[in-house]
Amino acid sequence: MTTYRISNDVDEDYWTQTKAYRFDFDDQTLVESSSVVGSESSEATIDEVLGLSGSASSGARVAQSLDEGLAESVVSAQIDECLQHMKSQETSVGSKRSPQHVINSLSKGIDIDLHEYKGKEDKLELLDTALHTNEGNAIISVVLHLKRTTKDSIFNYELSRRSLAADHYLFYLRQNKRMTELVDTLSMLGRHEEAAITAYSQAIACRDIDTKVHNLKSCLRNHFTSGGNDCIFWNNYISEQISLLELQLPIESDDRRQEREGHNQLFTQTQRTPLIDLPVLSTLYYCCLFHYCLSENHLASPKAICKAFYLSDQQFVWTALSALAQTRQWLQIDTLFEYKSWLGNKRLKCCIGFDKVVLLLHRNGAPLEVLNKYLQTIDNLDTKFNLAKEMKHLELAIDQEIGKN
């Protein structure tokens, strides 16, 4: 066994000193290391290197040998000795640390290798101890150890019997964004609704619309067609969402082209926002703004959208009214409310009440004649008066008062 001599000069001092030295490979010199703080961290490093959970005495011994020199063979001799000591410790059952002790250390945040818990019973005992303390750090360390070292079927079975451990494991997967595993584990545990919702949240997080639609479709197929009443309830809405996205894509591309070409006056007059991923009513509003006059056969016709998504008359009238008011198409608004009475006369009727109509038009700066026309249709004199007052049309208000008396 030859001793590796670093330098003859520093020999004597070197071997009698207890300072810690670190060999800097860049400069090929020994640098005094002040960062080897205490035996704790060196113990940790040795642990990682040797892959053994060191007991205090052997750790200290190895640390001491570090102090005394980086002589390669000296260290290797020490390591051999350590290994043998460890192995002997391993086989004797009595020296295995108690589950409680391990859990306490894990709770304090000290990372301990759990390799000595080999048997299934031991591991489960450790897990149950951890669960008893309700300690996040400990539970998740043990669960991960279990996952690494047991067969999947056994892991799944034991996890499904311990809901607290399952909760912690699921939380861990969620934090680490391991979503496919999360969904699979949820399905395995029989939590189909949660799996469905998680898969759905993953699907809608996609930026690219085509992938989004694809993911939504597969999500719908896999999770929402079966698996509890709630899933079936959301099924409709998710299918609607898919249909909406599929509807928005062609309209958006076509409109963008038209906007670029600049022929269509509507696009130059009003600011156009991208249609993709807007909610249904906003889509309706958009189509009322830019595609109001299209026939029902056309994809982008407001009427077609109402039909496809089962929107009510009120929703249509209110949205169309807002859009038309914004673009100041007063004549079109008339056609919203007109209908032919059985005598053949043109009458005005509105399902949401003309008081709301008048206020909305006023807010959008409608001319007086238009406001007056709708104001007259309101039967209730008090409402008429209050509205007129609110809109600060004093002549109208005074007329109403006179009319009342």
Partner 1 sequence: MSHLSSGRLNVHHMKELAKHELLECLDKCVGSKAIVWDHELVPILGLVADYLVLKEHQVIQMFELRPGRLPAMTAKHVIYLTRTKLSLMDTIGDNMLNEDKKMVSNKEFHIIFVPRRSILCERKLQVLGVYGNFSTISEYGVELLALDSDVLSMEWDNSFTEIYIDNDYTALFHSAKALMTLQTLYGVIPNVFGLGKSAKVVFDLMSKMRKELSSTEPQITPQIDELLLIDRSVDLLTPLMTQTTYEGLLDEIFGISHTTIKVPPEKFVHQNSSTDGQSCDETVEAPTEAKQFHLNSSEELFVKLRDISYKSIGPTLRTSAKTLSQQFDERHTAKTVREIRQFVDKLPALQTARKSQSNHTSLAELIKEVTDEESFYETIHTEQSFVNCEDTDKSNPYIEDCIARVDPLVKILRLICIQCFTNNGLKSKVLEFYKREVLQTYGYQHVLTFNNLEKVGLIRISGGYSHRVYNVLRKTLRLTVRDINEVNPTDIAYVHSGYAPLSVRLAQYLDHPGWRAITDVLKTLPEPTIEETQEIAAGLRKRRNSGASIQTGLLDDQKLIVVFFLGGCTYTEISGLRFLSQKEGFNADFVIVTTNIINGKTFLQSLSGQSLN
What residue ranges bind partner 1 (CB under 8 A)? 34-35, 37, 41, 106, 108-109, 111, 134-137, 140-141, 167-168, 171-172, 174-176, 193, 197, 200-201, 204, 230, 234, 237-238, 240-241, 244, 277-282, 309, 311, 315, 318
Cβ distance to partner 1 smaller for residue 4 or 237 = 237
Cβ distance to partner 1 smaller for residue 144 or 348 = 144
Q: Which amino acid is present at 200?
A: Y
Cβ distance to partner 1 smaller for residue 105 or 372 = 105
- CA 143 – CA 161 distance, rounded (Å): 13
Cβ distance to partner 1 smaller for residue 114 or 371 = 114
- Find, among 218, 286, 217, 275, the residue nearest to 250 by Cα: 275
- CA 62 – CA 75 distance, rounded (Å): 8
Per the CB < 8 A criterion, the answer to whether 336 and 370 are in contact is no
Rounded to a whole number of angstroms, the minimum distance from the CB of residue 45 to partner 1 is 8
Beta-ladder partners of 340 = 346
Cβ distance to partner 1 smaller for residue 113 or 399 = 113
Cβ distance to partner 1 smaller for residue 37 or 368 = 37
* Cα 186–Cα 187–Cα 193 angle in degrees, nearest 5: 80
Rounded to a whole number of angstroms, the minimum distance from the CB of residue 334 to partner 1 is 22
Rounded to a whole number of angstroms, the minimum distance from the CB of residue 174 to partner 1 is 8
DSSP designation for 298: S
Cβ distance to partner 1 smaller for residue 67 or 240 = 240
Rounded to a whole number of angstroms, the minimum distance from the CB of residue 83 to partner 1 is 23
Rounded to a whole number of angstroms, the minimum distance from the CB of residue 169 to partner 1 is 11
Report the largest interatomic distance among the alpha carbons of the chain, rounded to a whole angstrom: 122
Burial environment of residue 255 by CB neighbours within 10 A (0 to 12, 13 to 18, 19 or more): buried
Cβ distance to partner 1 smaller for residue 175 or 297 = 175
Rounded to a whole number of angstroms, the minimum distance from the CB of residue 119 to partner 1 is 23
Rounded to a whole number of angstroms, the minimum distance from the CB of residue 317 to partner 1 is 11
Residue position matching structure tokens 């109208």: 396
Rounded to a whole number of angstroms, the minimum distance from the CB of residue 123 to partner 1 is 17
Q: Read off the tokens for 24.
A: 């800097």
Per the CB < 8 A criterion, the answer to whether 232 and 192 are in contact is no
Other Cβ atoms less than 10 A from the Cβ of 133: the count is 15
Rounded to a whole number of angstroms, the minimum distance from the CB of residue 65 to partner 1 is 20
Beta-ladder partners of 32 = 21
Cβ distance to partner 1 smaller for residue 175 or 271 = 175
DSSP-assigned letters across all residues of 135-176: -HHHHHHHHHHHHHHS-HHHHHHHHHH-HHHHHHHHHHHHHT
Rounded to a whole number of angstroms, the minimum distance from the CB of residue 277 to partner 1 is 7
- Find, among 384, 386, 392, the residue nearest to 365 by Cα: 392
Other Cβ atoms less than 10 A from the Cβ of 220: the count is 21
Beta-ladder partners of 30 = 23
DSSP-assigned letters across all residues of 62-128: HHHHHHH---HHHHHHHHHHHHHHHHHHHH-GGGSPPHHHHHHHHHTT-----TT--SHHHHHHHHH
Per the CB < 8 A criterion, the answer to whether 197 and 222 are in contact is no
Cβ distance to partner 1 smaller for residue 79 or 112 = 112
